[in-house]
Amino acid sequence: MIRTAEREKDMGLSKRSIEMLLDLVEIKLSYMDISDREDARDMQILERCKAELRALDRGPQAMIANDPRRIVRPRAEL
């Protein structure tokens, strides 16, 4: 019997599901009115979500390269 955590780890999203989620996020963003900091924060989270879903749609390498939280530091010259 497979444990729940292992099953969730192996579960992926189909291309169709990713496209549907992208549509829903874009619809939500188009109807948002920013009136305070919380709304602005929600909009940032939705924008990040949209970027992550697009990266998922393109594959695992795109997801790593486009991670908005990833900090790229220049390498020191030797």
Domain ranges of the chain: 10-65
What pTM, to 2 d.p., does this model score? 0.62
Q: Which two tokens stand for residue 52?
A: 């992550």
Rounded to whole angstroms, the Cα distance separating 42 from 38 reads: 6
Predicted pLDDT of residue 59: 77
Per-residue pLDDT tens digits for 11-65: 688 999 999 999 999 999 999 999 999 999 999 999 999 999 999 988 765 455 5
Per-residue pLDDT tens digits for 31-43: 999 999 999 999 9
Rounded to whole angstroms, the Cα distance separating 50 from 28 reads: 11
- Output DSSP code: residue 36: S
